[in-house]
A and B are shown apart, each in its own frame.
Chain A
Amino acid sequence: MYYSIIISLIEVVLVLVPALLGIAYVTIAERKTMASMQRRLGPNFVGYYGLLQAFADALKLLLKEYVAPTQANIILFFLGPVITLIFSLLGYAVIPYGPSLAINDFSLGIYYILAVSSLATYGILLAGWSANSKYAFLGSLRSTAQLISYELVLSSAILLVIMLTGSLNLSVNIESQRAIWNIFPLLPVFIIFFIGSVAETNRAPFDLAEAESELVSGFMTEHAAVVFVFFFLAEYGSIVLMCILTSILFLGGYLSINSLDVFNFFYSILFNIGFIDLNFFNIFYYFYKEIFVNNSIIEGLIYGLTIGLKSSILIFLFIWVRASFPRIRFDQLMAFCWTVLLPLLFALIVLLPCILYSYNILPVNVL
């Protein structure tokens, strides 16, 4: 019994440590990328090329003094960031990094991620309310309203993906994209989902909850030192999680272009014009099989690198959007959700099943 518990703990550590390291490096990537877009250097002092800046920041924040405002509700004040971080990291439990390579690849994985990301709202609400500060309270109200509104967008977009794949399991969703990635039939939904995930993670241009010019720093105005680190990690953790989820739902997750297919394509052209002969194919195929098919470590590495690369491209898009667009007003944010995105999604929710039914292409498990 203890053996299985220890194995489970090791599995959790194996996922969480790289995830947290990745989150730390996303912060550096963001600062360097934005610096490059704004023609400055960015962090370049701590470590080679500024690569250790995140750890220096974390160390500084960990060594800082705790400050809690007078008459703040101390328990909720410190519990809020903890709740946010825990629910942000819980989402990583169902992410498949390869075929059946997840901590728990259970059948309602998509529901689970949606539920967990909704629960993170409570941490923000509690932290903002308990700080006994107008800025923090207004920030938490804004953030809660925004998250609840844009969750509808995300869940409606996910509903369309589920209609196409017929499963709530993330692995089944990925495997059903072997023929074609969902981004091609569902490009408008992908764009809406991306906008929704930018808003869901409180990122610019939808970062009204922490608008410096109006609310100092929003719901985390009074938080400093370690609890601020928790908020910071939770924010970037949910960004990375949303990017991984987007790459799973729309970009095929760990599926990469089959290198043998690419080879076959070029080989058939070169063979037909008489440039190479069959021996070349046999030698290539032998090495291909030995390196990629019979070697599970390299196969796993390719799966991991593929989902990492797709998520990194999406994270870059998040940063690019932040560097490019000015912040919008809060009423515009709400109106955009309720009067633009949701009507479009509801229209697609009516259209897509009609198309699937009339062309008899409903997924097998729905029939």
Chain B
Amino acid sequence: MSGATPRFWATPLKYCRWAARERPSLFWSCVIAGFGPLHLIVVPPVRRALGDYDAPQIPMTYPVPTTPRKKLTEYGDETE
């Protein structure tokens, strides 16, 4: 391409065309990296709208019992 190097803030589209030809690795790296935050914004609401809710986390401990606890009065269990 002829002419001076285009400046991003002055002519963004022209700069992108220039960068895609002259600095392809940096340009496409920015594009690929840009898809990451885009995923974060777009994908979770769409998933939820389609009914694909997050799976509950895998339990890492034993579940705490919900039944009423037995009140202990002495050290040992009732053996009699």
A residues lining the B interface (CB < 8 Å): 339-340, 343-344, 346-348, 350-355, 357-360, 364, 367
Kindly name the residue among A340, A351, A358 whose own CB sees the greatest number of chain B CB atoms within 10 A: A358
Stretch at the interface among B2-10, B13-21, B34-42, B69-77: B34-42
Hey, which bits of chain B sit against chain A, CB under 8 A?
A: 25-26, 28-33, 35-37, 39-40, 42-44, 47, 54-55, 57-58
Q: Could you tell me if A367 and B25 are in contact, using CB atoms closer than 8 angstroms? A: no
Contact B47 A359, beta carbon cutoff 8 Å: yes
Q: Which residues of B have CB within 8 Å of A352?
A: 36
A-B contact pairs, 19 of them (CB 8 A): A339-B25, A340-B25, A343-B26, A344-B28, A344-B32, A346-B33, A347-B30, A347-B31, A350-B33, A351-B32, A351-B35, A351-B36, A354-B40, A357-B40, A358-B40, A358-B42, A358-B44, A360-B47, A360-B55
Q: Which residues of the other chain, A, contact B39 by a CB distance below 8 angstroms?
A: 351, 354-355, 358
Tell me the complex Cα distance, A340–B26, Å.
Answer: 7
Chain A residues in 8 Å Cβ range of B32: 344, 347-348, 350-351
- Please give, as numbers and ranges, the residues of chain B lying within 8 Å of A344 by CB-CB distance: 25, 28-29, 32
B36: chain A residues within 8 A (beta carbon): 350-355
Chain B hits for A358, CB < 8 A: 39-40, 42-44, 47
A364 and B58 within 8 A (CB): yes
Closest A residue to B26 by beta carbon equals A343
Residues of A within 8 A of B47 (CB): 358-360
Contacts of B43 in A (CB 8 A): 358-359
Contacting residues, chain A, for B29 (C-beta < 8 A): 343-344, 346-347
